[in-house]
Amino acid sequence: MPMFNKSEILDTIRMIDQQHLDVRTITMGISLLDCCDADAKTACGKIYDKIVRSAQDLVKTGEDIEREFGIPIVNKRVSVTPMALVAGASDTEDYLPFAQAMDEAAKAVGVNFIGGFSALVQKGMTPADRRLIAAIPQALAQTDLVCSSVNVGSTKAGINMDAVALMGRTVKEAAQLTADRDGFGCAKLVVFCNAVEDNPFMAGAFHGVGEGDRVINVGVSGPGVVHHALQAVKGQSFDVVAETVKKTAFRVTRMGQLVAQEASRRLDVPFGIVDLSLAPTPAVGDSVARILEEMGLETCGTHGTTAALALLNDAVKKGGVMASSSVGGLSGAFIPVSEDEGMIAAAQSGALTLDKLEAMTCVCSVGLDMIAVPGDTPAETIAAIIADEAAIGMVNSKTTAVRLIPAPGKGVGDSVEFGGLLGSAPVMPVHAPSSADFIARGGRIPAPLQSLKN
Amino acid sequence: MRAIVTVIGKDTVGIIAAVCSLLSRHKVNVLDISQTVLQEYFTMIMLVDAGESDLPFADLAELLKQKGEAQGLDIRMQREDIFNAMHRI
């Protein structure tokens, strides 16, 4: 009787080798609340020092774990306190240097993104929030690794429509300033409703004020593994589909939990959460859309897609929750168009539209993600898309987000190319009728009733 | 520290000997071993104890990987914990 089970070992190796099983990210959250200073230069110095001091061993530790366990850990990243809260103490109008300090620190420690050039304005905006949002387009154009997010709504506060209007213009401006790179700046900017404080995934990661000084959060992935598992139960009922997804999610999450604990121990930083997300990549065999199609849809985006996604999203959570001591972050299936080979194909074929994607975000994490729209889309239309998405999040008590790229100089039929994990995307049409008067109203959409739910 | 060594590839003479001698050179103790040949494909799984090894774990894994590549084999050494975590409650 051997002391190990051969088929289990070979299963694991196949998942890693052929089905793209990986840990998508180890993200260290770092509080910068102790870096506030009346002098902006001093504050930036403190920010740089604290990030470098905290995360100097992060990349090496990740690589060590990768080698010892034989599991790819794709990204090592840092998230920090929403910068508006830190920069607000400084006597300056210009917040760009804060983004530059983040960028330099991220490069010094070798991570591939740093998140937290952020503001939380779901109910109102402080002068610091306004200055930060004003600096976002330049920050995204002039830095390489800084990611930005703004939370414009929540179930408890409602939707700040002034902030929504402002973000419509900010997205447009970010695209213009990076026009030479297809509007790449927008790929690093997320507009949230109900943003979570412990999300390890970029571009929306920040270290919430309710968190400790430092924390390790891990995001797992594995669409390829789920897809492969479902291929073995072709034609069987949805009960079998749900069970299969649950079992697979359990295994994937256990691996993430192990890596998270190991990283936490080695870095001597508390373990925060495992984020149970199915995060696709542009690689063939690593697609969420292909899982939905495996359930029996000819093309992702056709009728039945929302139901298939609802089942998938729920089963991933049910399987994952038991596998981890602490689950958090966004925890759901992601449907970023440019980062998912099957979504790209479905959008190109015309079966997947912006309206269908919006419907899909009602039942999954996170929102309209990495979608290229025509470069001449008005700021008010982008703001209205943000408002629609925020309304879905607000009413359903879930996180929603918008990461749109109004690709400068491009129209429907063109495509944008970002390369790497960010992939490429066909430019998708938006509705032509104007939302300008709607956005011009400003003010707040009140928080919804939490009872009488129908 | 227990680890699983897997060797997968086309069957040739002396695979087990080559892997075992490399392991013994670096003071890694073999606890259990299982191997099969299916349609000319060789699969060997070993449970080893690398606690007394003279090399850091990651270096040893890299050495085995290179050794495998030289012979057209896929050799990997992974901490046992990963398999236990994924398949046991």
Please tell me the distance in Å from B39's CA to the nearest CA on chain A.
17
Which domain covers residue B65, as residue numbers? 2-87
Which chain B residues in 2-31 lie under 8 Å from chain A, judged by CB atoms? Answer: 4, 6, 8, 31
Q: What pLDDT digit, counting tens, does each position of A369-395 carry?
A: 999 999 999 999 999 999 999 999 999
| A288 upstream amide cis, omega within 30 of 0 | no
The number of C-beta contacts closer than 8 angstroms across A and B is 68
A255 vs A262: CA distance, rounded Å: 11
* Beta-carbon-side half-sphere exposure of residue A11 (alpha carbons within 13 Å): 17
Q: Does B45 touch chain A (CB under 8 A)?
A: yes
B81 vs B88: CA distance, rounded Å: 10
For the CA atoms of B20, B22, B23, B24, the dihedral, rounded to the nearest 10 degrees, stands at 80
Beta-carbon count within 10 A of A432 CB: 8
Name the token pair of A74.
Answer: 């794709």
Q: Does B76 touch chain A (CB under 8 A)?
A: yes
User: Looking at residue A353, what is its pLDDT?
Assistant: 96
The verdict on a CB contact (< 8 Å) between B47 and A3 is yes
- pTM (two decimals): 0.92
User: Looking at residue A141, what is its pLDDT?
Assistant: 97
Q: CA distances (Å), A305 to each of A86, B1, B30, in order?
A: 43, 47, 51
Residue of A nearest to B80 (CA): A69
Q: Does B65 touch chain A (CB under 8 A)?
A: no
Q: Does B42 touch chain A (CB under 8 A)?
A: no
Please tell me the distance in Å from B13's CA to the nearest CA on chain A.
22
User: Looking at residue A2, what is its pLDDT?
Assistant: 56
Beta-carbon count within 10 A of B44 CB: 19
Q: What pLDDT digit, counting tens, does each position of A39-87 carry?
A: 999 999 999 999 999 999 999 999 999 999 999 999 999 999 999 999 9
Residue of A nearest to B1 (CA): A68
Q: What domains are there in chain A, each with its CATH number?
A: 25-193 (3.20.70.20), 222-444 (3.20.70.20)
A259 vs A382: CA distance, rounded Å: 39
Quote the number of domains for chain B: 1
Nearest CB to B78 within list A3, A70, A254 = A70
Q: Give the SS3 label for residue B12.
A: coil
Phi, psi of A168 (to 5 degrees): -60, -45
Average pLDDT over residues B49-63: 92
Phi, psi of A237 (to 5 degrees): -70, 170
Mean pLDDT per 10-residue interval, chain A, length 454 residues: 76 86 94 97 98 97 93 95 97 97 98 97 97 98 97 97 98 97 95 96 95 95 91 96 94 92 96 91 90 97 97 93 90 90 94 96 91 97 98 95 96 90 91 97 95 79
Mean model confidence pLDDT for chain B? 90
User: Looking at residue B38, what is its pLDDT?
Assistant: 78
Q: CA distances (Å), A407 to each of A135, A283, A333, A339, A428, in order?
A: 20, 23, 25, 16, 10
> Where residue B41 sits, what CATH number does that domain have?
3.30.70.260
Residue of A nearest to B5 (CA): A9
Please tell me the distance in Å from B9's CA to the nearest CA on chain A.
13
The verdict on a CB contact (< 8 Å) between A8 and B87 is yes
